[in-house]
Structure 1
Amino acid sequence: MVDKRESYFILSYLSINHALTHAALIAIAPLLPFIIESGLDISIDRGLLFAGISLLSYGLGSIPAGYLADRAGNFKVILLGVCLTTFSCLGLYFSSTQNEILLYLTILGFASALYHPPGLSLLSQSYKIGRGSAMGIHGAVGNFGQILTPIIAVLLAQVYFWQAFYLLLAIFAFFLTIGAVFFIMRKTEERIDEDISDKKEKKTENLENKNLEYKNKAKGIFTNTLANIMLLLAFTSLYYQGTIYILPTYIVNVLHASKETSGYLTSLLLGAGAIGSIIGGKLEEKFGIKRPLCILTAIALFSFIPITLHSFEFLTLGLVALGFAFFSTQPLTNSLIAEVSEKDVRGFYYGVTFLTRDGLGIIPLIIMGSVITSFGLGAAIYVSLVFAIFALVSTFFISEKV
């Protein structure tokens, strides 16, 4: 078993890595107005497409990340992820063409995918008691990285150039890599995984039998329960990803606000989300999963109404409600996945669900680009509202047992 001190250490490192992952993924959103004006001939619909391809890479990478986490070990996959994050962020810093930007955004998406399945699998196994709170703290720290991203990215872009923030991320990722090597990898992967998972496998166990057992368990995850979870995550991703990536450009072009204001308002949404992550974990421990999930998704749906009114006051209210509600659901769905999955294939389970959760993010961004081109930025928010309606409906398919 993992002792309390070690579990705190694991939670701390994973949470910091979580902050980096989300900062790297979300950075393109507040920087998009600068990229459009950079002279690289990147329009808003093309910029959204680039962001969508990065999300698709992230989603597709989640499945092999989960498989590798189960087979090779969680920490090894996480270490590979921060190494690739360092490389791709440096690549973006030096990018000067559309093709280079697309290439390194794609690599960055894949690098980010190497964190979530092993990270959440490791965390869920480390906290059999207090799992909801641990998931909430983990989510809140991840949100903290997102909260700072719009403000810092916009500030650096105005003072220097839009790539400057990626240099900062590369430096941060490099130190996380060093930390992983010298502080986490000092304990062998086999030893950590055995402690966390309560495994008492003998070294003489036949490898072929282990592989066969894993394949059988992996095939067994494709059930109606998984289908219902994926349905919920799909529509949740569709309404959120579609909103967060157009939000800064929407604020600048529709509300005629400054780029700094767009950064502050985006950070406000994410700040409300940090609070929501902690509260969502507490709600799960007190009320279970389904009831809070339904209520919070309903709040997210109704938050789009004030956002569509094109007023600063109503927009602020809607963004706070949306951020709080959306991120409150994340510890709930993460705990839900842990509840219905076997620990031996949990990384793979998280990988499959993250493909749905984030890989499908390319769909709303393509739709948003088309809607913006045809009807303008103001109409794009209604697309997210429709997806939120379907997300609410999908919560009713989640089993009452959780």
Structure 2
Amino acid sequence: MDADALADLRAFDRAHVWHPYSSALAPGDPYVVESAEGVRLRLRDRDGRTLDVVDAMSSWWCAVHGYRVPELDAAVRGQLGAMAHVMFGGLTHAPAVDLCRRLLTLAPSGLEHVFLADSGSVSVEVAMKAALQLHLAAGERRTRFLTVRGGYHGDTFSPMSVTDPVGGMHSLFRGVLPEHVFAPRPPAGVDLPDDDPELVDWERTTRDLFSQNASDIAAVIVEPVLQGAGGMHVYPPRVLDVLHDLAREHGALVIHDEIATGFHRTGPLWAGDRAQGAPDILCVGKALTGGYLTLAAMLCTREVAEGVSRSEAGGLMHGPTFMANPLACAVANANLDLLATRDTVAEVTRIESGLREGLSPAADLESVVDVRVLGAVGVVQLREPVRVAEVTAAALARGVWVRPFRDLVYTMPPYVTDEDDLAVVTSGLVGAVADVHG
């Protein structure tokens, strides 16, 4: 791209293109991506210079194999030779059926039905709708959900309503969104013992809260073990066991939102595998297609599917236009092949070790309050809100693309990131924080 074309692109972007979580009155000045390959992005900065940098974000946690992956490219090209899209109402096709079969094979025990959706947020919408329909069909008007503070489940209305109402990014919609039941945020630490006083107190409070609202609660919805965009908070699996027990005791469902945590991001295939019980409903997305196309899924038990189908409506009342898009399903199947053949568990274990070692120097910085790692997730938490533009620029100068938020400078690198590039990522993050925040 020559200088004039680059200048025109940037000018039009600033004048007319609305980016995520941004103001049209004060538009940002984003970097221009020209290409991506492996774990690297080729960017053009504000002065037109070319930067080849390691992607520490997996494009918001979905490009787990990196970019221009031959197997995934081939899957898309092969599917184009048959059909790019066809409606899923009244029709079916092999890529979708194959994907559903494979998802059920991988899913926690008891899940037998799959509803394919456009995006992670939509899969949560579908999950919540299914829970409501199930109870209505049983003659119970349960209209509330229980979750824990600090969570994030998406940007559409139902997911927003179970995202933290005070500390979350959707707090300005309070009074418009349905008001659900929020238990305290669980204490931190995946290895916290069950008799930890903080955890015991959390359990007591949550049991009381659930009992007080039990007749209204349709389901528990939670991000297992790791809360993502709500603050990268890691909590003990005992929390899931308590929530499962309460749901079973009071006739509510359990929904696991594994959109960010699924497909080995925290180590196991599902973050919820660390708990004793299995969910009634599972939401998956992000890494499902290896970052190539938008696709998500809601999986549920036979009891949920049959209960919803007995409702007055006679079925699950949802039907996205691009549901089960053949291109997306084909590349998702190829992505699952790669996850199975690459020894993903070993890759994530290697990355976890590299993140622990490489990010540890950040703990000595005055500006840092915590450094934590879980699977292929590394977090540096600051004592103050991160200066996003400055930290981003400082990391780019060290060859790393990051997208900090709130008080967090974090990385979720592609699983294929090798030791050298991982060292670039960790030194880049630590150096950027040191330069900007001290």
- When normalised by structure 2's length, the TM-score is 0.26
Structure with greater strand percent: 2
Q: Which structure has more helix as a fraction of its residues?
A: 1
TM-score of the pair, normalised by structure 1: 0.27
